[in-house]
Structure 1
Amino acid sequence: MACLSNEDERAAAHARLFCPAQVRAVLRWLGRLGVPWCHRTDVAGQVWLNAWESWPRFDPKRGRPERWLNAITVHVASHYHQRMQHRREELVDSIDVTDPAPDAAATMESDSIRTGTIDALNELDPKLRVVLVAHDLNGVSMAQIAEDEGLSLSVIYKRRAKALGALRDIIGFRENVEDFARRVGPQ
């Protein structure tokens, strides 16, 4: 009978160890060693990491590779239990995390307000609308608007004040109509 070289023995041991059957065996061993199911895969990962890191020191002449892996599993499970004795987990009430983004109802309301404001703006006299849109929406200075329109600054301020008042009146009238329609109901 031919004797296998040390490298051949290591290759055979590697093939026997690093296979799906051994993964299941490690999980079974951890279960028998008292590692809870919820932590078993994490602890098994530590077993495989330790096995991989210590593989260069594995000597197939000292014993079967499964026994070597079992010894690593026992060692890792022991450390797991030592750490669990010092760990203190406290259950807390669930934390309600609110999403900073507006919900669907707020988005619809915002869109409705925006649409209603644009509609109300379109009902304004064009001379008043120009000042309001240029200054309040586009950020153009009142002096620039006065220069572009060829009017005095005081006239532009008066038009803006008039436009704001008219816009408030239009929006207020629409809100009153909607309130009345809600109270009366569909007919």
Structure 2
Amino acid sequence: MAAGDAETAAVFVRRYQARVYGLAFALVGSSAIAEEIAQEAFLRAWRHAGAYDPRKGRAVSWLLTITRNLAVDAVRLRGDTPVDPHILLNTLTRNERANPAAATFEDTEELRAALRALPPEQSTPIVLSVFYGLTATEIADRERIPVGTAKTRLRRGLAKLREALGVTHD
């Protein structure tokens, strides 16, 4: 794709379109906006394919990060929060699959189990940070806790998630 191969790009889009759309939809709660985000995510991946470094992670992780950032920007631009983070956390951690498009993630069940294993005081800041793009200061304000506590909970929760998912930090 970095070499401008349109056929490779088409295969890439077909392979990941459900995941990208599912993540966008889960974050913005609107089919039309999720479609726009998915399209923009693939365009950015196409434009910046040369910047992708496979040593830093899988291509799908890179693509989903692009998608997440676009979705967070869209939510902020709209000025509303379509899903309360506690509801989102419950949706992410329950066993049944609420959104079939989002449920195609290869690691969904493993991630859900890892989030379920965390205490709520650690899983909530992770959801607020990852899905809503909130900073530690914003999380502290929202949860009515000191900033240092928010940072500690976030750091410890992410460390436990990395350990549970077998992610190594290089």
Same fold (TM over 0.5): no
Which structure would you say has the larger Rg? 1
What is the TM-score when the length of structure 2 is the normalising length?
0.39
- Give the structure, 1 or 2, with the largest relative contact order (CA under 8 Å, sep 6 or more): 2
